């Protein structure tokens, strides 16, 4: 093994650890569970899942995924109460602070894509070329607007 391989190991481990946290929140119900736990010290599964049209077992599966990702834990082994870990608190705060802005940015991007698809629907292009053209046009239309929106939300805007 040369030095480059050794240096890549810690970087991969770092990104793997971060990716596992993001995988934990990679479902809308899991994000909502984090939000529902954000205001309380701990809550039972019946309260955590009361807001969702999911079975108890489905909610439990999502909670287990959050536990595996170290976003949620069970403070007491004897109860079915759950609470946020510091990682969970971080993600819940991030969602609370930025969800509306991210949603607005996604909506604007989706609208720009729909306009671009309409623009190219009658142009004689193969599917791959059309997809590239639509993607390029979408970002031509909305990139600066979305970037400014996200910069403002993150506090890095001018």
Q: Please answer whether residues 72 and 109 qualify as being in contact, where contact means their C-beta atoms are separated by less than 8 angstroms.
A: no
- Say yes or no: 107 and 149 in one domain: yes
The per-residue pLDDT for 36 is 87
Give the structural domain span for 114. 94-154
The per-residue pLDDT for 42 is 77
Give me the percent of the chain exceeding a pLDDT of 70: 91
Under the banding of pLDDT at 50, 70 and 90, the label for residue 154 is: confident
pLDDT at 15 over 50: yes
- Say yes or no: 62 and 121 in one domain: no
- Say yes or no: 113 and 62 in one domain: no
Under the banding of pLDDT at 50, 70 and 90, the label for residue 3 is: very low
pLDDT at 2 over 60: no
Residue spans of alpha helices (H) in the chain: 3-24, 28-38, 45-48, 56-68, 86-120, 127-154
As a whole number, mean pLDDT of residues 77-92 equals: 86
Q: Which of 84, 112, 136 marks a domain boundary? A: 84
Give domain status of residue 89, yes or no: no
- Say yes or no: 71 and 15 in one domain: yes
The per-residue pLDDT for 1 is 47
Predicted model pTM = 0.78
Closest CA to 95 of 146, 29, 48: 29
The per-residue pLDDT for 10 is 78
- Say yes or no: 50 and 22 in one domain: yes
- Say yes or no: 78 and 124 in one domain: no
Cα distance between residue 81 and residue 45, in whole Å: 6
Q: Please answer whether residues 113 and 130 qualify as being in contact, where contact means their C-beta atoms are separated by less than 8 angstroms.
A: no
Within 13 Å of residue 121, how many CA atoms lie on the same side as its CB? 7
Cα distance between residue 151 and residue 145, in whole Å: 10
The per-residue pLDDT for 44 is 80
Q: Which tens digits make up the pLDDT trace of 97-132? A: 999 999 999 999 999 999 999 999 999 999 999 999
Q: Please answer whether residues 112 and 140 qualify as being in contact, where contact means their C-beta atoms are separated by less than 8 angstroms.
A: no
- Say yes or no: 101 and 80 in one domain: no
Give domain status of residue 36, yes or no: yes
Task: Say how many domains are in the chain.
Answer: 2
- Say yes or no: 100 and 60 in one domain: no
- Say yes or no: 79 and 99 in one domain: no
Q: Which of 28, 50, 84 marks a domain boundary? A: 84
- Least confident span in 81-90, 134-143, 149-158: 149-158
Q: Which of 84, 112, 146 marks a domain boundary? A: 84
Q: Which two tokens stand for residue 16?
A: 């793997």
- Say yes or no: 56 and 126 in one domain: no
Q: Which tens digits make up the pLDDT trace of 56-72? A: 888 899 999 999 999 99
């Amino acid at each position: 093994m040369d030095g480059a391989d050794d240096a890549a190991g810690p970087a991969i481990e770092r990104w793997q650890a971060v990716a596992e946290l993001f995988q934990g929140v990679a479902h809308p119900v899991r994000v909502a569970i984090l939000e529902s736990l954000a205001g309380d010290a701990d809550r039972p599964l019946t309260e955590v899942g009361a807001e969702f049209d999911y079975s108890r077992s489905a909610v439990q599966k999502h909670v287990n995924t959050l536990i595996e990702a170290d976003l949620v834990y069970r403070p007491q082994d004897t109860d079915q109460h759950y609470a946020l870990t510091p990682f969970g608190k971080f993600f819940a705060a991030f969602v609370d602070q930025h969800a509306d802005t991210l949603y607005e940015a996604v909506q604007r991007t989706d609208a720009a894509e729909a306009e671009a698809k309409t623009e190219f629907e009658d142009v004689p292009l193969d599917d791959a070329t059309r997809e590239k053209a639509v993607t390029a046009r979408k970002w031509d239309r909305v990139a600066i607007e979305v970037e400014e929106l996200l910069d403002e939300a993150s506090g890095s805007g001018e």
